[in-house]
Amino acid sequence: MSEALAVPSRIKRLIVESLHLEGIRPEMIEDDAPLFGEGLGLDSVDALELVVALEKEFGIKIKSQELGREVFSSVSSLSQFIEGRT
Amino acid sequence: MITGLGTVGAYGCGSDSLRRALAAPDLTVLLSDIDRTSGYHRPGGARRALLARDVSLAEWLAPKEARRMSPPSKLAVAAARMALACAGFADRRADREEMSVAISTAFGPSSYSEALLRQILFDGPEATSPFLFTESVANAPAAQIAILCRARGPSMTITQREAGALQAIGQGAADVASGRAPRSLAGAVDEMTPLLHALLDRFGALDTAEMARPFDRRRHGFVAAEGATVLLLETAASAAERSAHVLARVLAWGSAFDPTAPQAGWGTGHERLARSLRRGLERAGVDLRTIDLIVSGASGSRGGDRLEALMLRDVWGKEERPLPPILAPKRVLGEYGGGFLGAAVLAAAGGCMPPPAASFETDPELSIVPDIVPDLPSAAPPATVLVTSVAAGGAASWLLLGAPEAQEAQEAPETWGAP
Amino acid sequence: MVSGVGAVSGLGWGVDALWEGLRSGRTAIRPFHRFDHSRHRTHLAAEAGAAPQGTVSPEQRRLSMADRFAVFAAAEAVHQAGLTAPLDTLEAGVWLGSSTGGMFESEEFFHRFVTDRRHARLGDLASQQVNGPGDAVARHLGVTGPVQTISSACSSGALALGAALDAVRSGTVDVAVAGGSDSLCRLTYAGFNALRSVDEEPCLPFRAGRAGMSFGEGAAVLVLEPLERALARGVTPLAELAGAGSSCDAHHMTAPEPGGAGAAAALQAALRDARLPADAIDFVNAHATGTPLNDAAEWRALVRVFGERAGTLPIVLTKAILGHLLGSAGAIEAVVTVLCLLHRELHSAPSVVRPGDQEDLPANLVLDRTLAVPEAHAAVSTSLAFGGANAALVFSRWEPA
């Protein structure tokens, strides 16, 4: 077992913790499931909260222009974005 | 017409738990230790408060709805939904479109504001949480009530410290009386955080032995509390349409200011406050003789209780009439969270008179002995109740409640009636 | 009737500074000095400069900045109305809107309290409350009637004016002193930035390329009283506050209801209250923060209320010059509306071309230069708050009979 969890797992944990999703375990979030609108039903403020958590966790800065729907559409797309930045 | 009362505090949820708290000899059993691990408190200061943290709101608020809410928002929404249920609205959402919301808070969502400041000052602005910010604004509770109860009428948050609760009821009543909204959810909410508690204590506002002794010669401060109380107000026609049970009627309201008050303190302008109160009652066409009971916001503060007592003495003194009985519910409910507003409505609805304090020493300057209500033969609720409050900083507000009209006499364990 | 106005803003202390600055059409939004913003996402604000000499007396030492703004503006308005403090021989009341009161000073207190307690002065906290500015005005003017602070975010000032209007009409008070006050503080600065709602450049409300709001600070106060009382004192009313209306989106904590229905409801309520049809309105002082969502929703609200006229009605965009004064925005924009009616002139907003992806709102809407409006008789000012509280105020020109 490597010390660092894979990026998707870390993102899922952050989603559950920073967004106070009670009753949902990180493993329950599918990599490709929609995060906003349907699926987890998160909204724009959740997205921004997640951004703060992601910036802190991965030591990156996410510019406002990068906060597009596509990047945030699923854990997979977020993961790709983060890995491209770190 | 007040057709709904929702309330939550250290005493639990709902008017029955409020009644039980009012029947208790004092507030000792409801006190909890305030968290002092942040080191904000001074040694030897007050250590306990009337907290609602262990009260479950699950019946009124789903976890999904509450996910991002600050504590005051949760308390306020729960109380608002309780008020709607109490008024006979089974469906929490339908038919609410033009309802107005008027909420008072003395300090707003303090825990979130504090957490936000900690982030900004000590972690850096880039660590600022959007969740905390959106829910740290004073109008968050009112906004959440509007969203969850679908109230699309006028919405107002009043921040006038201890005088705000009655001002909010006045605003709600004005919304309904003017036709701006057929119904209004109006009330008060506050949360009591360790920081707030510690600062109030350092200001000398709290009784260090956690005894609230309104009007008592030995009084030395109030006991801090948190909670929410929300009333549903509506027109007589609207209430009649649903055959809703009316708890009480709002007859009049008003407020005034004492410019001798120091910042965040109480002044000495009781004569002018009395003049304003008399003038307000005259304009509302109210004869002092019809006021059967006063529910006072006196909390045990040295300056506040004095000001309120002298104001009331002055009003009745000028008419050379004896003061009606005065209740001081903050003796058992503490200060903040609107509990005393709930107690006033219960008093006006009939059958809810708290017992007097086990020990009381009259302050000769005030000459008021609260919570002594003579037994009277009739079973009807009091005809008219005057509710008063004076705030730190100078504001004062009052509300006049009347008995429900055309209601059958209430059967209640402890009843008393108009002379 | 409005018989006096007072203001403090990024253009300076006093209504004269405000009006002259607005007429220049140049923004007051620029790098500011109130606190260290190096780690914040943006670095601009329309900061009110230092108070003029002699305006803060020694007793007022403990007042917060927001308190001082409010006291200055109130004193200016009351003076213009020909009244002298103490106002205790009148039934006078104070209604003030504020979103953070003395928060700036509290931030400094809290920092010291946590890191260097010996030097934290409890007295600094006395003015912390949101009701600080309203109470300070009431004390300063010796008011003995109703005093109320309203804190409904960006609609606070407008709601305060609405509440004051009610009190004057009902005869509860002879005179109402109403408005709003807020100062820059780290909490709101960081908070709106956390929501990514802030433009890195001075905001461009209603224009293509708008990217968010800008911050401002200050206070604005209006004296309201019945016409007969003003005339009896020989005071010429500046304008009439003809009506007020409010509503709530009941939609979302930060996003406006996109169709503009809530805002439209407030506008329509104000028009009904003023007993004026939509056609009577000659210009709009829009809330217009510059955030894509707000401006789009507000535009739809204007279309709902004014129909085809919405494309030709002049829109005054005060926030492009003063930034967003939060709790006092509604009040300062009310003062600006009064001044526009009085001087028969609408101020412009800086014309900056910036590429962007927002829907272009009709091009002839936004004033590039000062517009003379000799026939303007009535206007509406809108305030649309965080948490969905919407407020609208209708003002009309006062003409002697």
Return the C-alpha torsion angle C308, C311, C313, C316, nearest 10.
Answer: 140
pLDDT for residue A37: 77
**For A63, nearest residue in chain B (alpha carbons):** B126
**For C269, nearest residue in chain B (alpha carbons):** B180
Q: Cβ contact (<8 Å) for B134 and A20?
A: no
| Cβ–Cβ < 8 Å for B82, B58 | no
Active site residues of C: 154, 287, 324
pLDDT for residue A3: 45
| Cβ–Cβ < 8 Å for C177, C336 | no
Angle separating helix axes B302-318 and B270-283, nearest 10 degrees: 50
AA letter at B188: A
| Residue from the list C194, C252, C253 with its beta carbon closest to the beta carbon of A48 | C194
CA distance B387 to B374: 19
**Quick check: C108 contacting B, CB < 8 Å?**
no
Q: Cβ contact (<8 Å) for B67 and A21?
A: yes
Q: Supply the ipTM of this predicted assembly.
A: 0.96
Return the C-alpha torsion angle C386, B86, B247, C249, nearest 10.
Answer: 20
* pLDDT at position B419 over 50: no
CATH number 3.40.47.10 is the correct assignment for the domain at B2-241: yes
Q: Where in chain B do CATH 3.40.47.10 domains reside?
A: 2-241, 251-402
Chain B with chain C: Cβ pairs closer than 8 A: 224
Above pLDDT 90, what percent of chain A? 50
Could you report the per-residue pLDDT of B343-363, keeping only the tens digit for each? 999 999 987 778 888 899 999
pLDDT for residue B415: 23
| Cβ–Cβ < 8 Å for B383, B418 | yes
| Residue from the list A20, A49, A61 with its beta carbon closest to the beta carbon of B130 | A49
| Residue from the list A21, A22, A45 with its beta carbon closest to the beta carbon of B131 | A45
**Which residue blocks in chain A are alpha helix, DSSP H?**
7-18, 44-58, 75-85
**Quick check: A65 contacting C, CB < 8 Å?**
no
**Quick check: A37 contacting C, CB < 8 Å?**
no
What stretch of H or E contains C390?
Answer: strand C389-396
Which residues partner with B275 through β-bridges? none
Q: Cβ contact (<8 Å) for C196 and A45?
A: no
Q: Cβ contact (<8 Å) for A20 and B129?
A: no
Q: Is C18 helix (H, G, I), strand (E, B) or coil?
A: helix
Mean per-residue pLDDT for B6-13?
Answer: 97
CA distance B200 to B215: 20
Nearest to B63 by CA among A39, A24, A35: A24
Domain residue limits, chain C: 2-396
Average pLDDT, chain C: 93
**Quick check: B124 contacting A, CB < 8 Å?**
no
| Cβ–Cβ < 8 Å for C159, C330 | yes
Q: Which residues of B touch A61 (CB under 8 A)?
A: 126
**Quick check: A5 contacting C, CB < 8 Å?**
no
Cβ within 8 Å of C, B 174-233: 174, 178, 180, 199, 202-203
CA distance B326 to B297: 10
Nearest to B296 by CA among B189, B207, B165: B165
User: In 10 A of CB C72, how many CB atoms?
Assistant: 26
CA distance B305 to B318: 20
**Quick check: B125 contacting A, CB < 8 Å?**
no
Q: How far is CA B308 from CA B73, B286, C247, in A?
A: 30, 20, 35
Nearest to C302 by CA among C200, C225, C203, C379: C379
Lowest mean pLDDT: which of A19-33, B216-230, B302-316, C76-90? A19-33
* pLDDT at position B247 over 80: yes
pLDDT for residue A69: 74
E strands of B159-312, at which residues?
183-190, 227-234, 249-257, 293-296
Length, in residues, of chain C = 401
Nearest to B384 by CA among B192, B259, B266, B250: B250
Confidence tier at B410 by pLDDT (50, 70, 90) = very low
Q: How far is CA C369 from CA B30, B354, C315, C364, C375, in A?
A: 65, 68, 12, 11, 18
Could you report the per-residue pLDDT of C17-63, keeping only the tens digit for each? 999 999 998 999 999 999 999 999 999 999 999 988 877 777 777 89
Task: Tell the residue number behind the tokens 């109160």, with chain if given.
Answer: B277
pLDDT for residue B304: 97
| Cβ–Cβ < 8 Å for C184, C42 | no
CA distance A65 to A84: 16
Mean per-residue pLDDT for C301-305?
Answer: 95
Pair of tokens at residue C125: 């906290």
Looking only at the bridges linking them, the beta strands covering C30-31 and B2-9 are: unpaired
Residue of A42, A44, A49 to mutate, testing the B interface (most B Cβ within 10 Å of its Cβ) = A49
**Quick check: C113 contacting B, CB < 8 Å?**
yes
Lowest mean pLDDT: which of B306-310, C70-74, C203-207, C215-219? C203-207
Q: Cβ contact (<8 Å) for B63 and A22?
A: yes
pLDDT for residue B405: 67
Angle separating helix axes B339-349 and B15-23, nearest 10 degrees: 90
- SS3 letters for C273-304? HHCCCHHHCCEEECCCCCCHHHHHHHHHHHHH
**Quick check: A48 contacting B, CB < 8 Å?**
yes
**How far from chain centre, in Å, is Cα C19?**
14
Q: Cβ contact (<8 Å) for B68 and A21?
A: no
CB under 8 Å to B14, separation ≥6 — which residues?
B6, B7, B8, B82
Above pLDDT 90, what percent of chain B? 79
Q: Cβ contact (<8 Å) for C196 and A64?
A: yes
What stretch of H or E contains C113?
Answer: helix C103-115
Q: Which residues of C touch A52 (CB under 8 A)?
A: 194
Q: Which residues of B touch A20 (CB under 8 A)?
A: 67-68, 131
> Does residue C196 come out as left (phi exceeding 0), alpha (psi in the -120 to 50 range) or beta?
left
Q: Cβ contact (<8 Å) for A52 and B130?
A: yes
CA distance C79 to C71: 12
Q: Cβ contact (<8 Å) for B128 and A49?
A: no
- pTM assigned to the model: 0.95
What stretch of H or E contains B401?
Answer: strand B395-402
Nearest to C248 by CA among A1, B185, B207, B14: B185
**For B69, nearest residue in chain C (alpha carbons):** C253
- SS3 letters for B279-299? HHHHHCCCCHHHCCEEEECCC
* pLDDT at position C277 over 80: yes
Above pLDDT 70, what percent of chain C? 98
CA distance C140 to C73: 12
* pLDDT at position C64 over 60: yes
Q: What is the DSSP string of B284-339?
A: TT--GGG--EEEE---S-HHHHHHHHHHHHHHHHHTT-PPPPEE-THHHH-BSSSH
**For A41, nearest residue in chain B (alpha carbons):** B64
**Quick check: A84 contacting B, CB < 8 Å?**
no
CA distance C70 to C25: 25
pLDDT for residue A4: 62
* pLDDT at position B412 over 70: no
pLDDT for residue A1: 42
CA distance B264 to B101: 27
Q: Cβ contact (<8 Å) for C252 and A67?
A: no
Q: For the domain C2-396, what is the CATH code?
A: 3.40.47.10
User: In 10 A of CB B11, how many CB atoms?
Assistant: 27
Return the C-alpha torsion angle B172, B176, B179, B182, nearest 10.
Answer: 110
Q: Cβ contact (<8 Å) for C145 and B135?
A: no
Q: Which residues of B touch A39 (CB under 8 A)?
A: none
**Domains identified in chain A and CATH numbers:** 7-85 (1.10.1200.10)
Tell me the fold of B251-402: Peroxisomal Thiolase; Chain A, domain 1 (3.40.47)
Mean per-residue pLDDT for C182-211?
Answer: 94
Could you report the per-residue pLDDT of C124-153, keeping only the tens digit for each? 887 778 999 999 999 999 999 999 999 999
Of C289 and B379, more confident: C289
Nearest to B232 by CA among B82, B395, B414: B82
Mean per-residue pLDDT for B36-40?
Answer: 94
AA letter at C289: T
Cis peptide leading into B354, omega within 30 of 0? no
